[in-house]
Structure 1
Amino acid sequence: MHDKRPTELSRRNFLRAFGGASTTAVAAVALTPGEAQAYNPGQEEARARYRETDHVKAFYRVNGYPKKK
């Protein structure tokens, strides 16, 4: 016969219930509408970083990229 009582909460059932509850809580927070705010990158992040140096030009030439006009 089985000695387990149906009222006991086994480890597996506890983790299953805990996982379901935490997933529900995260979903509730994520779906709550809030005020959207725009991202301001600031001066440092907005500056141009790309420079077409000699090694970049060599990479383009070796890999067959079309030349800039």
Structure 2
Amino acid sequence: MRQDDDTRKDGTGLGRRQFFRTLGGGTAAAAAAVASVPLGTTEAQAYDPGSAETRSRYRETDHVKAFYRTNGYETLKK
């Protein structure tokens, strides 16, 4: 049993296809409204990380030295 595409038999008047047509039209209208709003420009602020975040964190500890030794990185040293 097939229902009519535009209206339902229970009298609501809005079928599945009509619902999706309406939904699509509303989405297009919302996108057009957002696109018509001019965007304001603001000046960018620079981030200063400070001395704590820019200091060197690399430490050649015993386990790092063991990793280099077992993977053959000692041959690359000058």
Q: TM-score, normalised by structure 2?
A: 0.47
2:44 is paired with a residue whose SS is coil
Aligned-residue CA RMSD (Å): 3.7
Higher relative contact order (CA 8 A, sep 6+): 2
Deviation digits for residues 28-59 of structure 1, max 9, x if unmatched?
76xx6542333211121011110111111111
Which stretches of structure 1, 4 residues or longer, exceed 6 Å deviation after superposition? Answer: none
Percentage identity across aligned positions? 52
Shift of 1:11: 6.4
Which residue number in structure 2 is paired with residue 35 of structure 1?
43
1:10 and 2:16 correspond:
no
1:10 is paired with a residue whose SS is helix
Aligned-partner Cα distance in 2 for 1:11–1:45: 53
- Kindly provide the amino acid, as one letter, of the partner of residue 35 in structure 1: E
Q: TM-score, normalised by structure 1?
A: 0.51
Which residue number in structure 2 is paired with residue 63 of structure 1?
71
Which residue number in structure 2 is paired with residue 45 of structure 1?
53
How many pairs align? 58
CA radius of gyration, larger in: 2
Aligned-partner Cα distance in 2 for 1:33–1:64: 54
